[in-house]
Structure 1
């Protein structure tokens, strides 16, 4: 009996040790998060496929699963986790009566100064609340998160706002300028400024440092000429069913998941036509369902597109007449389509993946036709088709006013003036310039 008890104790001890071993960080996977204290790390354990996060705050370790197998996403989660802990700690010091789960309250004479990263967490939470109230677009919030994660937090996250100087911001801008355009550098500085202004408002600092001024040189996405547009259409139709020339490994990097054996889908030609005749953004194109489309026939024939709200615009879009023919072709290709089915690549439920497939295939069409770069040497993309749609109306529309065009394209008159109309020259509208009023 004593032997059995001894054996049982030995097995239990081994099981307990084995269980502990499965939760011990794998040494080769431990990585510190750039720009943050060395005790903020991500790592893997044998018991889970996901990355884990560990940091030292308030005299003890805090651990959490990042719930992702992506190292980059795990780093993003680690920064958010660290910032949230410090933000909660700051609140607990100001309001000791507020109970915060898993965060011990240590009363001190003066609350510790918040880091830039902790204040950034507050800014992000405020912007998220604006999205929920319908005051801000979800895409704008994603861009804020991406900018914070890409450069801002790795550079300033662990610093105190009071320690950030104009010289530091100038050096930050110069570092970004090596790889990025002036527009991109300016947007990152605006993000830093947003956090510093919030720091002033909550009393973390008395005054924000001056932000370096960047002279922005905007490079609008080049529109296609009508001749180039027809070249793209013919190429997309000719390549239909042809396998992409890049190898499977390269395609895996571009779109992560194989679709149709990487063959050119019929949706590519339809996408090109729809974007030019419907004024759609690429993201709206992949979200378009049959229930959003209504065919109007009367004095004018067109499609009425009632899409979900994008960039705080919710008005229906009316299309040019050729869009009706394109929609009829799509319906003929898929006669059993249901109202809730997507128009393009309906078998792909992940619409981000669908957009990646269309973008990759369109780049293939651009390379095939030699139209990847515009006359000024700037690269073109799927978005250039929207640019073309608006530019064609400015050039060939009879007396169309900017307000009507802007509202139908779900944008503003300023955006059309500064970006889309910036490529329109006087010579392109020579007939209008030389026209004369008729006297009756």
Structure 2
């Protein structure tokens, strides 16, 4: 029930007090919708001043087309983060949640935040792409793609809550397929150069923490190149996740690894080359079962060695990183004739990804006998 009420600005704004409250509320009808807010004032004079300022601000937003009706994009983004974090906390690495949050705060909210979610159309999505690509430091194709993925997830949240009745088209016009990028990797010769350099680097330090870090890097290079695990998976590995076993199928001593990464928990069987580096780390560190194998990322040290060897970039200009050791593992296995489906399972990826980014540049994976087939021509008839 309304206890008292007044109108100002020619009846465009209504001020009223509810029963059991001494504070004034104000309301107006604009753009086909009622807008209400509390003035938080008990004095009628101050409440009128507040209401007048509030109405003029609303009218200015309306004139610029910025007055939202319905849930805003920033509200939907906040709801998405809450749901994503609570539902997938056990299935996704915390870094994925942080990455979504960063993309929202740095790029999506500044552009879409004040819009109503129903106003985020295919045209607005394309305007966002154009704005990002015209920035002083435009993002890479893959970075822009991840931002659109986050945007799509937010809009799906809005659809589930019935704040919109359909999803806009998120596809990029004019450029439907991009260049297939071959992942940077080390050839067998380059890989040998690399691990010989990391071994030499470890021996160059007489003692102390620098020698310890150098020895850890050397063993990390060998470990990753013989297991194919991702750098983020390596950083999560604990000693209890790794077991030295005798493989029944090959009779070789290998590592069985329980991997925790971006796709949850998976499993990996190493080559024999990973066993000795792991044994050295156990001898060196005398770890507890819950200690991490690689508590330091070694990026700076690794990049320095690559630059000294002239291996930071491959011949196509692809930048090599610790991730390139995973790509090298996959390439080495393909060159040895391993089954591509088993490689995909062991690396927790898909056959399609391997065929697209790895197998295409391995000349030994092509069977010349199957390619150079000649159809037998019928013998010419004698006349």
Q: Give me the TM-score of the superposition, normalised by structure 1.
A: 0.61
Q: Deviations over 1:63-87 (max 9, x none)?
A: xxxxxxxxxxxxxxxxxxxxxxxxx
| Alpha-carbon distance in 2 for matches of 1:223, 1:171 | 36
Could you say if the C-alpha distance between residues 175 and 225 of structure 1 is closer, same or farther in structure 2, counting changes exceeding 3 Å? Answer: same
Q: Give ranges in structure 1 of 5+ residues lacking alignment.
A: 1-56, 61-110, 244-258, 345-350
Q: What SS class does the counterpart of residue 202 from structure 2 fall into? A: coil
Q: Does 1:333 align with 2:284?
A: yes
Could you say if the C-alpha distance between residues 416 and 138 of structure 1 is closer, same or farther in structure 2, counting changes exceeding 3 Å? Answer: farther
| Alpha-carbon distance in 2 for matches of 1:264, 1:137 | 26
1:201 corresponds in structure 2 to 160
User: Which deviates more, 203-212 or 180-189?
Assistant: 203-212
Following superposition, the deviation at residue 306 of structure 1 comes to 2.3
Q: Does 1:368 align with 2:330?
A: no
2:143 corresponds in structure 1 to 184
Q: Is contact 2:232–2:261 with CA below 8 Å preserved after alignment? A: no
Map 1:4-15 → 2, pairs under 5 A: none
Q: Is contact 2:69–2:116 with CA below 8 Å preserved after alignment? A: no
| Alpha-carbon distance in 1 for matches of 2:369, 2:226 | 28
Following superposition, the deviation at residue 59 of structure 1 comes to 5.6
Map 1:45-64 → 2, pairs under 5 A: none
Map 1:351-430 → 2, pairs under 5 A: 351=295, 354-355=296-297, 358-397=298-337, 400-424=338-362, 427-429=363-365
Could you say if the C-alpha distance between residues 208 and 292 of structure 1 is closer, same or farther in structure 2, counting changes exceeding 3 Å? Answer: closer
2:255 corresponds in structure 1 to 303
Q: Is contact 2:236–2:261 with CA below 8 Å preserved after alignment? A: no
Q: Does 1:156 align with 2:112?
A: yes
Following superposition, the deviation at residue 333 of structure 1 comes to 2.6
2:75 corresponds in structure 1 to 118
Could you say if the C-alpha distance between residues 218 and 153 of structure 1 is closer, same or farther in structure 2, counting changes exceeding 3 Å? Answer: farther
2:234 corresponds in structure 1 to 285
Q: What SS class does the counterpart of residue 255 from structure 2 fall into? A: strand
Could you say if the C-alpha distance between residues 206 and 270 of structure 1 is closer, same or farther in structure 2, counting changes exceeding 3 Å? Answer: same
Q: Give ranges in structure 2 of 5+ residues lacking alignment.
A: 1-36, 41-67, 372-383
Return structure 1 stretches of 4+ with deviation > 4 angstroms: 57-60, 259-264
Higher strand share: 2
1:31 corresponds in structure 2 to none
2:52 corresponds in structure 1 to none
Q: Is contact 1:115–1:161 with CA below 8 Å preserved after alignment? A: yes
| Alpha-carbon distance in 2 for matches of 1:363, 1:122 | 40
Q: Is contact 1:278–1:323 with CA below 8 Å preserved after alignment? A: yes
1:142 corresponds in structure 2 to 98
Q: Is contact 1:235–1:368 with CA below 8 Å preserved after alignment? A: no
Could you say if the C-alpha distance between residues 297 and 207 of structure 1 is closer, same or farther in structure 2, counting changes exceeding 3 Å? Answer: closer
Choose between structure 1 and 2 for higher RCO, CA contacts under 8 A separated by at least 6 residues: 2
- Aligned alpha-carbon RMSD (Å): 3.0
Q: Is contact 1:241–1:264 with CA below 8 Å preserved after alignment? A: no
| Alpha-carbon distance in 2 for matches of 1:193, 1:266 | 44
Q: Give me the TM-score of the superposition, normalised by structure 2.
A: 0.69
Q: Could you say which structure has the larger radius of gyration?
A: 2
| Alpha-carbon distance in 1 for matches of 2:90, 2:244 | 33
Q: Deviations over 1:260-311 (max 9, x none)?
A: 479962111111110110111111222222222211236221111123x323
Q: What SS class does the counterpart of residue 390 from structure 1 fall into? A: helix
2:268 corresponds in structure 1 to 317
Following superposition, the deviation at residue 223 of structure 1 comes to 1.0
1:273 corresponds in structure 2 to 222
| Alpha-carbon distance in 2 for matches of 1:406, 1:269 | 26
Could you say if the C-alpha distance between residues 176 and 261 of structure 1 is closer, same or farther in structure 2, counting changes exceeding 3 Å? Answer: farther
Q: Deviations over 1:110-161 (max 9, x none)?
A: x962210001111122212321464x55443333222212211121112222
Could you say if the C-alpha distance between residues 218 and 187 of structure 1 is closer, same or farther in structure 2, counting changes exceeding 3 Å? Answer: farther
| Alpha-carbon distance in 2 for matches of 1:207, 1:370 | 52
Could you say if the C-alpha distance between residues 133 and 228 of structure 1 is closer, same or farther in structure 2, counting changes exceeding 3 Å? Answer: closer
Q: Is contact 1:317–1:408 with CA below 8 Å preserved after alignment? A: yes
Q: What SS class does the counterpart of residue 296 from structure 1 fall into? A: strand
2:20 corresponds in structure 1 to none
Q: What SS class does the counterpart of residue 229 from structure 2 fall into? A: coil
| Alpha-carbon distance in 1 for matches of 2:171, 2:370 | 47
| Alpha-carbon distance in 1 for matches of 2:315, 2:38 | 58
